Structure 1
Amino acid sequence: MHARRESLEPWLRSFVAGNGGIAGTVHLVEGDALALAAAVNIPEKVQEITRRVPRGKGMAGLAWERDQPVQTCNLQTDTSGDVRPGARAVAAQAAVALPVRDASASVRAVVGIAFAGERELGQDELDRLAQGASALPA
């Protein structure tokens, strides 16, 4: 995982900064789970909890399962059940998990980005973020 992490972390830092975010993650599909491959401004405890994410669990697992972005207006107060309690340790509010597809249209990764303010991301912004996430190095 370390070779991947080294190559993905600079990309993630650029993606988060370029989109006005304050934190982010990259999870790669590995078998029946997502494996944390890069993290920016994510507390170590949250990284421990999210090193392996089952399909359908938390925002990243749901984005993988649904093959569509999963967002929350506020990580701190979300009651949808999509946000796991550990996510509240991230000092952010609005967040989205974006599935990234490979050439055969299968989800190969999930990119997460979180923002300082509480807000709902509109479809145009979700599309722009998804387009940016699709540039994730293979």
Structure 2
Amino acid sequence: MDENQKNKPGLADIYANIQEDSPDWDTVLHSVISHFDCATGTLHFLDQETSLLKLRAQKGIPPFLIPKVEVIPIGKGMAGIAAERREAVEMCNLQTDDSGVARPAAKETKMEGSIAAPLLLNGTLYGTIGIAKPVPYDFTEAEKTKLLQIGEAICRAIS
């Protein structure tokens, strides 16, 4: 096992962070990013009154892009579409994608392989979590399932 694998947080570490009395969402997100060998990520919680996704934690988003990701309407960008569809949305290479799912500013992150997953518990939407790598990458079904399960745990903590 290489040094990187030894220092990578396991799922038990992530769940322990989520289950704290007052979870530090930056720590939770950083652990998820590290667990999946990603470089950037965002965690948005749904504002029930406005039905907008509001940024709760982020890592690696360039400062000039923060205003563009602070508040996301359902159906806009990867996070908004994941929330709308209530399923994970991914791109092997954000830089070459022309589907219109990713917003043009998303390319300015310089990330390539990316995934956004809804935070769902018993069919109720609580937000989204998104992570990305600086290289082209297709997330496996097991990785998608793991990210959705982490999302369920986050929902339990905030509900």
SS of residue in 1 equivalent to 2:44:
strand
Partner of 2:24, secondary structure, is helix
Among 143, 146, 152, the residue aligned to 1:125: 143
Alignment of 1:50-129 (within 5 A): 50-102=69-121, 104-129=122-147
Task: Show CA shifts across 1:22-70 (max 9, x none).
Answer: 1000011013210011100111122110111111000000000000001
Which consecutive residues of structure 2, in runs of 5 or more, have no partner in the other structure? 1-22
Q: Which has the higher helix share?
A: 2
Larger Cα-atom Rg:
2
Q: CA RMSD in A?
A: 1.5
State the Cα deviation string for residues 74-100 of structure 1 (Å, max 9, x = none).
111111110001111113110000101
User: TM-score, normalised on structure 1?
Assistant: 0.89
Q: Secondary structure, in 3 states, of the residue corresponding to 1:135?
A: helix
Letter in 2 for 1:110: T
- Kept in 1: contact 2:75–2:84 (CA 8 A): yes
Separation in 1, partners of 2:120, 2:97: 27
The structure whose RCO (Cα within 8 Å, separation 6+) is larger is 1
Give the 4+ runs in structure 1 shifted more than 4 A.
Answer: none
- State the distance in 2 between where 1:95 and 1:40 align: 14
Question: Is residue 22–residue 115 contact of structure 1 (8 Å, CA) maintained in 2?
Answer: yes
Give 1:17's aligned amino acid: S
Structure 1, gaps ≥5 residues long? 1-5
Aligned residue number for residue 30 of structure 2: 13
Residues 92 and 138 of structure 2 are in contact (CA less than 8 Å); yes or no, is this contact kept in structure 1?
A: yes
What is the TM-score with the length of structure 2 in the denominator?
0.78
